[in-house]
Amino acid sequence: MSYFRSNITAMTGYVPGEQPQGGKLIKLNTNENPYTCSPKVRAAIGHAVQAGLQKYPDPTAAAFRLRAGELLGVDPDWILCGNGSDDILTIVTRALVDTGDHVRFAQPSYTLYRTLAEIQGAKCHVVDYEADWSLGQEFTKHCNHLRLTYLANPNSPSGTVLPPGEVARIADALPRPLLVDEAYADFAEANCLELVAQNEKVMVSRTLSKSYALAGMRFGFLVAHPQLIREFGKVKDSYNCDALSIAAATAAIDDRAWFDQTRSAILATRGRLTARLREMGFECVDSQANFVWCNHPSHAAEQLYQRLKDSGVLVRYMRYEGWGDGLRITVGTDEQIDALLAILAGLI
Ligand SMILES: Cc1ncc(COP(=O)(O)O)c(C=O)c1O
């Protein structure tokens, strides 16, 4: 078909992780939270439905921005809300990147960055992570022409974190914005939020999909300099967050007890999963996210993925062109992880 822009025809498109609907699979493949969301979220959605949905929602989700601003210690004018953080990544890319422009990201990392750049018809510079999951000088070399640089921190699939000082150095070296994708920051020991006020080129995106168990709701946000937020506001859909997601997200960030309890549970299970995998001979990266990246020296990752799936456990098999492959296992409940470990013990 000749209807499409040539870059759309040429690109593959983003392939999301498998999302089997219903069924009995133990789903550990797309880094969802294994716990159901806070009961306060369910109550807030109920109230929003009762109030009626006939009116358009608040275009800027002010209720959420006010509460998030208090919690994070930032002015609400520094926050832009989105239909998941993928929407935030889309808005930022559409606003900053033109046809033929150059963007940079590291590999292996979140594969959506390439897709978003390709939609714009931009050129991608890919820099490999070092063996210890740091980024060398290469990441900021020859950067004068870059319009946008993406950095997942914690990174996926590794779960590793670049310390804020290192991210600040990267941002200083870049001529234009750095989008620090902090989808998993709530599970990490450090984050880059403070850098936003120190350097206008630093933008931080967050999501409620993971640490607040709202992947099905779709809500994310960006923290950036208000001048940038104003410009991004021109690009977003007028009502990119619906009334239910605004109510749900606002109630979610308000329930600190739910957050602390489920976070602690996930971190404890993550430690146990990592230790057990290592006992079975897996090479595991120390994760600061809600998943663990691993490989076994004598069992092919793809085969393990398939055998686990045949036994009712879905993990993510990832293969990165020119880099290698591995298994990314989402931290589930203790019962889910015990079931996974029991099957693995039989396979190894
Ligand atoms: C690194 C990273 N960023 C962003 C997202 C998108 O999250 P959401 O659109 O659900 O907010 C994901 C989801 O898996 C992710 O892994």
Report CA(129)–ligand 1 centroid distance (Å): 20
pLDDT at res. 218: 98
**How many other CB atoms sit within 10 Å of the CB of residue 319?**
11
Distances (CA, A) of 147 to 98, 103, 157, 175, 200: 9, 6, 25, 8, 14
**Going residue by residue through the chain (348 aa), what tens digit of pLDDT does each one get?**
789 999 999 999 998 888 988 778 999 999 999 999 999 999 999 999 999 999 999 999 999 999 999 999 999 999 999 999 999 999 999 999 999 999 999 999 999 999 999 999 999 999 999 999 999 899 999 999 999 999 999 999 999 999 999 999 999 999 999 999 999 999 999 999 999 999 999 999 999 999 999 999 999 999 999 999 999 999 999 999 999 999 999 999 999 999 999 999 999 999 999 999 999 999 999 999 999 999 999 999 999 999 999 999 999 999 998 899 999 999 999 999 999 999 999 999
SS3 176: coil
Q: Decide whether any atom of ligand 1 lies within 6 Å of the 183 Cβ.
A: yes
State if residue 152 touches ligand 1 by the CB under 6 angstroms criterion.
yes
Cβ density class 87-105: b for 16+ within 10 Å, e for less? bbbbbbbebbbeeebbbbb
333-339: long-range contacts at Cβ-Cβ below 8 A with a sequence spacing of 24 or more?
Answer: 333/34, 333/35, 333/265, 333/269, 334/265, 334/269, 334/272, 336/26, 336/28, 336/34, 337/269, 337/272, 337/273, 339/26, 339/312, 339/313
Q: From CA 195, how far away is CA 172, in angstroms rounded?
A: 11
- Asked whether 318 lines ligand 1 (CB < 6 A), one says no
38 C-alpha vs ligand 1 centroid, how far in Å? Answer: 20
10 C-alpha vs ligand 1 centroid, how far in Å?
Answer: 24
In sequence order, the β-bridge partners of residue 320 are 324
φ/ψ of residue 62, rounded to 5: -60, -40
Q: 17-36+257-347, superfamily in CATH?
A: Aspartate Aminotransferase, domain 1 (3.90.1150.10)
- Ligand 1 center to 70 CA (angstroms): 24
pTM: 0.97
Going by C-alpha positions, the residue among 145, 140, 162 that lies closest to residue 153 is: 162
Whether ligand 1 lies within 6 angstroms of the CB of 110 is answered as yes
Q: Is 182 in the pocket of ligand 1 (CB under 6 A)?
A: no
pLDDT score of 122: 97
What is the DSSP secondary structure assignment for residue 299, as one 8-state letter?
Answer: B
What is the CATH architecture assignment of 39-254? 3-Layer(aba) Sandwich (3.40)
Q: Residue 215 CA: which ligand 1 atom is closest?
A: 10
Which atom of ligand 1 is least distant from the CA of 86? 9
> DSSP secondary-structure letter at 184?
T
* Minimal-distance CA residue to ligand 1 atom 7: 85
pLDDT value of position 24: 86
Residue nearest atom 2 in ligand 1 by C-alpha distance: 183
3-state secondary structure of 80: strand
- CA–centroid distance, residue 181 to ligand 1 (Å): 8
Residue intervals in the chain for CATH 3.90.1150.10: 17-36+257-347
86 CA distance to ligand 1 middle (Å): 6
Q: Ligand 1 center to residue 89 CA distance, Å?
A: 9
Ligand 1 geometric centre to CA of 43 (Å): 26
Residue intervals of the chain classified under CATH 3.40.640.10 are: 39-254
- The per-residue pLDDT for 23 is 76
Closest Cα partner for 159 from 55, 266, 290? Answer: 290
The phi and psi torsions of 71 (rounded to 5 degrees) equal -65, -40
Is the CB–ligand 1 distance for residue 85 below 6 Å? yes
Ligand 1 pocket: which of 85, 116, 241, 293 to mutate (most atoms within 8 A of CB): 85
**Which of 208, 323, 293 lies closest to 258, judged by CA?**
208
DSSP 107-135: ESS-THHHHHHHHHTPEEEEEEPPTTS--
User: Cβ(290) to ligand 1 under 6 A?
Assistant: no
Q: Which of 298, 318, 302, 300 is CA-nearest to residue 310?
A: 302
In terms of DSSP bridges, do strands 283-284 and 291-295 run parallel, antiparallel, or are they unpaired? antiparallel
